[in-house]
Amino acid sequence: MVFSSLEFLFIFLPLFLLCYFIVPKKVKIIVLCFFSLVFYAWGEPVYILLMIFSSVFNFVCGLILEKQKNATPKKITLIIAIIVNLGLLGFFKYTDFAIGTFNSITHSNFELLNIALPIGISFFTFQTMSYTIDVYRGSVACEHNFLIFITYVSMFPQLIAGPIVRYETVAKELHNRTITYEKFCQGLFRFMQGLFKKVLIANNMGLLFSTVTGQDYSTISVASAWLAACSFTFQIYFDFSGYSDMAIGIGKMIGFTYLENFNYPLTATSVTDFWRRWHISLSSFFRDYVYIPLGGNRCSVPRHILNLMIVWGLTGMWHGAAFNFILWGLYYGVLLILEKYVWGKYLEKTPAFFKHFYSVFIIVFGFTIFTFDDMNLFGKFAKIMFFASGNSLIDKGFFNVLINHGFILAVAIIISAPVYKLLTAKIENIIKTSSHGNAVAITHAAVAMCFYTGLFIITVSYLVNDSYNPFLYFRF
C-alpha cells in the first residue's frame, strides 16, 4: 500500500503546491479537490467510490434538512443519515470482528468476509456526520456547492489520519482563503516539525519497542518491559502528533487553519487533563455529539457513570475492531469515573511531581493495552511489567538497548514537554522588547534555518535507508 511510506508525499506535495499557486484564485479549490481525490485514489483506488458516496449522501441530507421546517421529518432525516453513516463504518470496520466474536462464543464456523479497511474511513465518516448533525441543529449553514463540500470531505492534508475537522472550522476558508508569505513559512516550518517527529523520533521509538518485544518473553527483564512500554508511548505520540503537525502545516500553507489536535499530553497531571490534551478533535467530537446529548454530567451519579462508560466504550471501538481497543477505552472510562468520584479531590492536593508520575504511569500502561491485539501476549507482557512472571528485574539487554537508543529517547522526553515552545516565546519577547531586537531576530532566523536544514538532510537520509514509514493511525 502506497500510504505505508512518506516517499509518495515527497513527490505529491511539491507538484500540488506548484499547481495550486500558479492557477488563479477561483481555480484553486478545483486543484485542491482534484489532488485530494488523486491522493486518496492512489492508495485506495476502489474505496474512493465509498468516500464520494458518503460525500454525495451527506450533501443531499444537508439540503433536505435545510428545506424541512417540521421537527419530525427533520429528525427522521437525521436518524437515517446517522444510520447510513454508522452502517457504512460498521460494515467495513467491524463485520469481521463481529463474525469472529460470534464464532468464538457459539463455536460456530462462519467464514470471515476479509473486508479491507478503507483508509481514513473513521475520520471522513465523523466529519460528514458532524456536518449533517450541525445542519440539523442549525449551528452551520447548509453548503449548496458540491465542489466545496467534497473538497471539505476529501482535503488530503488531514483526510487519512486527522485531525477531525468540522465544517464550521473551515467553512469560510473553503469559500475565501487568505494566503500570505508569512503563513506559508509558518506552515512549512510546522510541516517540517511533524516530519522530524515522525521520521527521527517515532520510527526510532518503534524500533526500540520492536527490539525488546521481538525477544523471547521469558528473557525480557522488568526494566526492559517498561522501557518498551515507554518507547511505544513515545512512538504513538510522535507518530500521530507528527501527522497532525504536517496536516496543520500544509493547511496553513494553502490558506486553511485547522485546530490543534495535541497540547503536550505527556505533561498531563491527571487522566482528565490527559484527555484535554490528547487527540483533541476526537475528544471534542464525542463530547459534543455523544456525551452531552446523553445528558453529560447534568444527571444522577449512576446515569453520569453510564454516560461515561458509553462514551469511552465507543472511543475504544472507534480506534479498531479488537478487544484490546475496547478494553483500552473502558480502562480510561473507569479511571475518569474514579478521578471524578473517588480520589480526584485528593489528587489535586498532592505535589506536582506525584500528579505527573501518576498520569504517566496510567498513560504508559494504557498504551501497553492499546498495542497488543493478542490478549494472551498482553497478559504475558503485563505480568513481566508487574513482577508476576519471575523474570529478572534488570539485565544486560536493558543497558544495550538504552545505549543504542538513549540519545533519541532523551530527545523524545525533551520534545514531549513545551521546551521548544517556551524557548521560542522567550526569543520572540526579546525581539519585541529589546533594543537589539532586529539583530536577535536575524540571528534566530539564521540559526533556525540552519537547524531545520540539517534535520531535513538527516530525515531524507533516514527515508532513503528505511522503506517502511507507516503512520500508526492510518489503520483507524
Per the structure block, which three cell numbers stand in for 205? 521509538
pLDDT at 438 over 80: no
The predicted-structure confidence for 178-200, as pLDDT tens digits, reads as follows 888 889 989 999 999 999 999 99
The predicted-structure confidence for 372-390, as pLDDT tens digits, reads as follows 989 999 999 999 999 988 8
Asked about 319 being catalytic, the answer comes back as yes
pLDDT at 316 over 60: yes
Among the listed residues 319, 356, 405, 436, the single catalytic one is: 319
Percent of the chain with pLDDT over 90: 66
The predicted-structure confidence for 245-303, as pLDDT tens digits, reads as follows 999 999 999 999 999 999 999 999 999 999 999 999 999 999 999 999 999 888 999 99
pLDDT at 159 over 90: no
pLDDT at 470 over 60: no
Residue 431 pLDDT: 76
Residue 8 pLDDT: 67
Q: Which of 124-138, 316-330, 339-353, 436-450 has the lowest mean pLDDT?
A: 436-450
DSSP notation for 161-222: T-----HHHHHHHHH-----HHHHHHHHHHHHHHHHIIIIIIHHHHHHHHHHHTS-GGG--H
What is the C-alpha separation between 100 and 93, in angstroms, rounded? 13
The arithmetic mean of pLDDT across residues 117-121, rounded, is 86
Phi-psi region of 295 (alpha: psi -120 to 50; beta: other; left: phi over 0): left
Q: Where are the domains of the chain?
A: 2-177, 183-415
The predicted-structure confidence for 395-422, as pLDDT tens digits, reads as follows 888 999 899 899 999 999 999 999 888 8
pLDDT at 457 over 90: no
